[in-house]
């Protein structure tokens, strides 16, 4: 079915295709940024002078707002802080640039090639929640080292891989000092808790950075969402995240994410009183993507027809599981698509092929290609079915539904690019009842939940720049 045929059909699919085509390559608007820096404990505001750019940093001589203020806080204060900024605004460079410059400023007397090191003492540890994000951060570290000209000082950057700990150990202890270690929380805790042959020591640690930090502790408390009050903490063994923060000692702790909720911040203020966190919050009114929510009795057919009605572009489709991904791919016949599975050993190779344009449709589950992962020029993100947003048989706090949605649609419209986010939901009343409140919460958080139930099938509602199509079974 060609684009003209889809348009001539009218109805919901034709309307959606029209809206998507109009917005796939929209021009970016001017940023309107509000910056707040305050104490976590009492919300008292503080003044911070932004750093507009760093001359020696060639890739971005002019920094984005979160990068300007985070770099300033790292270089000019001794504060622990929480960095909050929308998806795609450059948070990775925000915590890398300042910490790298600070490590160079405070370089140890002995640096570079030494005898084989059997006890590794990193000065900066970066924690990521997933392998994909860990690999990406490690790659950014290598690029930044080159940009800053740190090869001459043998500035050591290593990755501790959970799937290759022995190999990682050989690389890390090979003779170059380990200044920066990128890993996952559980992997590092496993090494540090070894009673015999412990080969990593944090006695020289200056910074512990946790990217996508709210993904680590969001399940550690129950919250009354009407008041924001923490009702009960889980009585479980200490998490890897909590363990690392506890043993970080006098090192500065930096948390970054786009989706810290009020409950998350309240939890941090209560649990980490001794850290005296500051909060750096960037609010950006820039419309980087248009959001479309639609319902369908046949998700596979609707998804296929919408993609056929669009020009060829880079698309990411989030699904609820590997089997759903394979079924959808089989339905997208004659289209260049690949499935990125949770158990795939070729994740890096598949992502590299996607970046190189060998195929243009990536079908994946959120845990592999969700939080923090960046690929340039993704024009369209599709949330395919309720299970792509809300895992079945999983208990999540309401604000975590919203966080998951925001992180998934945030794979498009990154930096100063624009894009479109389409959410397709099935007309299955039994399934929808389980997540109706969560879906409505998503819309109300976006300020877009007015009078949707009054729309007829062929109408669309424009609120600002966000378009929603009627889904009566969801909103009645």
DSSP string, 55-81: TT--S-SS--HHHHHHHHHHHH----E
Q: Say whether pLDDT at 383 is over 70.
A: yes
Angstrom CA distances, 57 to 63, 93, 148, stand at 10, 11, 6
pLDDT for residue 371: 78
Q: Say whether pLDDT at 280 is over 70.
A: yes
Q: What is the pLDDT of residues 2-45, one digit of tens each?
A: 444 444 444 668 878 887 887 777 766 666 788 999 999 888 99
Q: d(Cα 171, Cα 183) in Å, to the nearest integer?
A: 14
- The half-sphere exposure of 49 on its side-chain side, counting CA atoms within 13 A, is 3
Question: Beta strands 289-296 and 466-469: pairing type?
Answer: parallel
pLDDT for residue 468: 38
Q: d(Cα 435, Cα 272) in Å, to the nearest integer?
A: 33
What is the mean predicted confidence (pLDDT) over 364-393?
Answer: 79
Q: Which two tokens stand for residue 107?
A: 């370089």
Question: Which is higher by pLDDT, 399 or 205?
Answer: 205
Work out the mean pLDDT of the chain and round it to a whole number: 76
pLDDT for residue 19: 79
pTM > 0.75: yes or no: yes
Contact 472, 453 (CB under 8 A): yes
Q: d(Cα 135, Cα 154) in Å, to the nearest integer?
A: 21
| Percent of the chain whose predicted confidence (pLDDT) is above 70 | 71
Q: Say whether pLDDT at 137 is over 80.
A: yes
pLDDT for residue 223: 41
pLDDT for residue 26: 73
pLDDT for residue 253: 95
Give the pLDDT band (50/70/90) at residue 397.
low
| Percent of the chain whose predicted confidence (pLDDT) is above 90 | 24
Of the listed ranges 171-175, 312-316, 381-385, the least confidently predicted one is 171-175
pLDDT for residue 34: 86
Q: With 0-12 CB in 10 A as exposed, 13-18 as middle and 19+ as buried, what is 45?
A: exposed
Torsional sign, CA 36, 39, 40, 42: negative
Q: Say whether pLDDT at 249 is over 60.
A: yes
Q: Say whether pLDDT at 273 is over 50.
A: yes
Of the listed ranges 102-106, 246-250, 371-375, 376-380, the least confidently predicted one is 371-375
Give the pLDDT band (50/70/90) at residue 413.
confident
What is the mean predicted confidence (pLDDT) over 258-274?
Answer: 82
pLDDT for residue 421: 84
Q: Say whether pLDDT at 335 is over 80.
A: yes
What is the mean predicted confidence (pLDDT) over 417-441?
Answer: 63
Q: What is the pLDDT of residues 59-73, one digit of tens each?
A: 666 788 899 999 999
Give the pLDDT band (50/70/90) at residue 457.
very low
Give the pLDDT band (50/70/90) at residue 205.
very high
State the Cα torsion 49-55-60-64 to the nearest 10°: 10
- The half-sphere exposure of 334 on its side-chain side, counting CA atoms within 13 A, is 4
Q: Which two tokens stand for residue 207?
A: 């910074």
Question: Which is higher by pLDDT, 62 or 454?
Answer: 62
Residues counted in the chain: 476
Give the pLDDT band (50/70/90) at residue 438.
low
pLDDT for residue 445: 52
Report helix, strand or coil for 328.
helix
Mean pLDDT: which of 161-165, 365-369, 382-386 is highest?
382-386
Q: What is the pLDDT of residues 302-315, one digit of tens each?
A: 899 989 988 889 99
Torsional sign, CA 215, 220, 226, 229: negative
Question: Which is higher by pLDDT, 356 or 124?
Answer: 124
Q: d(Cα 89, Cα 285) in Å, to the nearest integer?
A: 12
Q: Say whether pLDDT at 393 is over 80.
A: no
Q: Say whether pLDDT at 123 is over 80.
A: yes
Of the listed ranges 278-282, 355-359, 375-379, 428-432, the least confidently predicted one is 428-432
pLDDT for residue 476: 29
pLDDT for residue 166: 78
Give the pLDDT band (50/70/90) at residue 53.
low
What's 315's DSSP letter?
E
Q: Which residue has the tokens 């599709």?
A: 382
Q: What is the pLDDT of residues 141-155, one digit of tens each?
A: 999 998 888 866 678
Q: Say whether pLDDT at 232 is over 80.
A: no
């Amino acid at each position: 079915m060609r684009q003209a045929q889809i348009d001539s059909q009218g109805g919901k699919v034709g309307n959606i295709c029209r809206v998507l085509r109009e917005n796939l390559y929209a021009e970016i608007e001017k940023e309107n940024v509000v910056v707040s820096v305050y104490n976590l404990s009492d919300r008292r505001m503080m003044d911070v002078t932004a750093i507009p750019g760093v001359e020696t940093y060639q890739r971005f001589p002019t920094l984005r707002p979160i990068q300007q203020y985070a770099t300033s806080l790292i270089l000019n204060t001794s504060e622990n802080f929480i960095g909050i900024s929308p998806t795609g605004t450059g948070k990775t460079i925000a915590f890398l640039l300042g910490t790298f410059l600070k490590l160079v400023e405070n370089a140890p007397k002995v640096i570079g090639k030494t005898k084989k090191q059997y006890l590794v003492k990193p000065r900066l540890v970066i924690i990521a929640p997933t392998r994909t994000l860990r690999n990406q951060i490690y790659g950014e570290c290598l690029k930044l080292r080159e940009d800053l000209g740190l090869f001459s000082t043998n500035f050591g950057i290593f990755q501790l891989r959970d799937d290759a700990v022995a190999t990682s150990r050989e690389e890390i202890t090979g003779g170059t000092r380990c200044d920066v270690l990128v890993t996952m929380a559980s992997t590092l805790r496993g090494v540090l808790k070894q009673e015999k042959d412990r080969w990593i020591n944090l006695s020289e640690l200056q910074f512990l950075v946790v990217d996508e930090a709210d993904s680590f502790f969001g399940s550690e408390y129950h919250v009354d969402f009407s008041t924001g009050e923490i009702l009960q903490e889980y009585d479980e063994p200490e998490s890897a995240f909590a363990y690392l923060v506890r043993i970080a000692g006098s090192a500065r702790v930096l948390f970054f994410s786009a989706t810290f909720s009020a409950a998350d911040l309240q939890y941090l203020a209560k649990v980490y009183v001794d850290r005296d966190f500051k909060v750096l919050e960037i609010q950006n009114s820039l419309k980087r993507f248009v959001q479309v929510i639609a319902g369908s009795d046949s998700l596979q057919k609707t998804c296929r027809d919408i993609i056929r009605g669009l020009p060829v572009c880079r698309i990411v489709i989030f699904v609820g599981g590997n089997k759903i991904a394979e079924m959808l791919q089989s339905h997208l016949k004659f289209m260049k698509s690949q499935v990125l599975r949770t158990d795939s050993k070729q994740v890096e190779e598949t992502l590299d092929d996607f970046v190189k344009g060998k195929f243009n449709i990536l079908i994946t589950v959120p845990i592999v290609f969700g939080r923090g992962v960046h690929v340039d020029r993704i024009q369209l993100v599709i949330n395919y079915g309720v299970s792509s947003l809300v895992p079945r048989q999983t208990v999540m706090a309401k604000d975590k539904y919203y966080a998951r949605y925001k992180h998934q649609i945030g794979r498009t419209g990154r930096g100063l690019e624009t894009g479109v986010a389409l959410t397709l939901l099935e007309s299955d009343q039994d399934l929808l009842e389980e997540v109706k409140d969560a879906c409505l919460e998503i819309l109300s958080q976006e300020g877009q939940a007015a009078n949707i139930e009054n729309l007829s099938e062929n109408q669309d509602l424009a609120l600002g720049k966000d378009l929603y199509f009627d889904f009566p079974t969801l909103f009645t």
